[in-house]
Amino acid sequence: MDAQQKRNIVIIGGGIIGCTTAYFLTRHPKFNPQLHKITLLEATAIASGASGKAGGLLALWAYPTCLVPLSYRLHRELAAEHGGAERWGYRRVGCGSLRAHVRNSNLLKPAPAAGQSAQNGNGAGENLPIQSVVGDEVKDEKDWEKLPKQDDKAASLLKDSRLPADLDWLDRDVIYHYEEMGMPGSTETAQVHPFHFTTAMAELAAQKGVDIKLGARVTKINHTKSEVQNIEYEDKSTKEHHTIEGVTDVVVTAGPWTSRLLPRTKIESLRAHSVVFDADVSPYAVFTDIQLPTDYVPEHRAAKGQKRKHRGNVDPEIYARPFSEVYACGEPDSTIPLPDYADQVQCDEAQCDDIIAYIGTISPQLRGASIKAKQACYLPQHVRMGHERGPLIGKTAVPGLYVAAGHTCWGIQNGPGTGCLMAEIILDGKATSADVDSLDPKKWKV
């Protein structure tokens, strides 16, 4: 369809992908508010799912490689244009990976007083000795399951390093190995506050005329083999059913709920828990591998007569964030099915307390910090055998029906690139800012 013909575009989903798609459509040279109507339907609220509960990490070492450079650059440009540093906390951060061996004696250290760091005997910036530490195996306990954040390529970019002097909120006595993202031009890392970034994108899109309808759960996309026709949705508060007629283009950006509307996408959901500490620390993103004492049991589990949950090695991720926050996430699970609405997601508080306890073993400063949030969300992932992990972005077999979903842990990072490309695909007929042919939904029979 010609971009200069009347278009009635509906975006389904108010997470980062839907909001950036709306934003870039309104900034596209061919966008004409006299001809183009854009409606965004969100079942709950903007950023109510993973887009509001993610870590907000941005990285040139993320995946898929065909999308990352464009999106990382767009983050920088958006921040420059709209005051992102102040509005959504855009900034560069240091990034590294550590290994720690925690002994029972380390657990007795008191948390530092307010305003003090956790520096101690090893000395800031000194080389830490590489040790071989092997713990006793605990029977009938499972290994820690990793979030799909780092792939083999990203791990290969890590280089042995000194523990940075300003990474002073970790206990240097327990850390025996540190690596930093050390490949110039390939390992730059930054961050945003995901909730503030997503809501800002929605606000900027609305200022250009996008009609955002909240509490609107899409129940059906009606189409023929040659065109889309209309969208049916239910009002969450009144339970009334509505239909948007004369739809010319539909973009499904519903994250883990995408398969509910387009089963052929095979987008799966993975629940992830996270916590937010109230703490102002130096800006680092840290991946951990923590060996715990054989007999260590977090206090909240010991109080219930429970044993330790894992064999002894855990690897929570910790991101210092702007606005005096530290975000941390633990292992994923698939024990609770995806609910109908984001505000129905069940949070297992014990899993959040596990994260808090494990991080407290290597950071006395965070052990003494108050908790701003305990939360859970579902990550959308497209499982593809023998191919680089990545989302589906582009046209489906039905003209006028598009999908942009399955971004796993990298939705915030790849949101701007995805939104930019979707605007091009819809209004130009093809993506021109990056070659994302490998992410074409039609390759996967969608």
d(CA 402, CA 425): 9
Question: Beta strands of 148-283 (E only): which ranges?
Answer: 158-160, 175-181, 189-191, 211-214, 216-223, 228-235, 241-244, 249-252, 267-278
Rounded distance, CA 442 to CA 419, Å? 19
* Contact criterion met (CB below 8 Å) for 191 and 319: yes
DSSP state of 340: S
- What is residue 105's predicted lDDT score, i.e. its pLDDT? 83
pLDDT for res 3: 64
Q: pLDDT (tens digit, 9 = 90+) per residue, 249-293?
A: 999 999 999 999 999 999 999 999 999 999 999 999 999 999 999
Model confidence at 139: pLDDT above 50: no
Burial of 381 from C-beta contacts in 10 A (0-12 / 13-18 / 19+): buried
Pairing relation of β-strands 91-92 and 189-191?
antiparallel
Q: What is the pTM of this model?
A: 0.89
**Over the stretch 59-103, which tens digit does the pLDDT of each residue have?**
999 999 999 999 999 999 999 999 999 999 999 999 999 999 999
Give the least confident one: 89-103, 146-160, 302-316, 337-351: 146-160
Instruction: Report yes or no: 262 and 253 within 8 Å, Cβ to Cβ.
Output: no
Residue 120 — very low, low, confident or very high, per pLDDT cuts 50/70/90? very low
For 299, list phi and psi in degrees, rounded to 5. -55, -40
pLDDT at 307 (0 to 100): 80
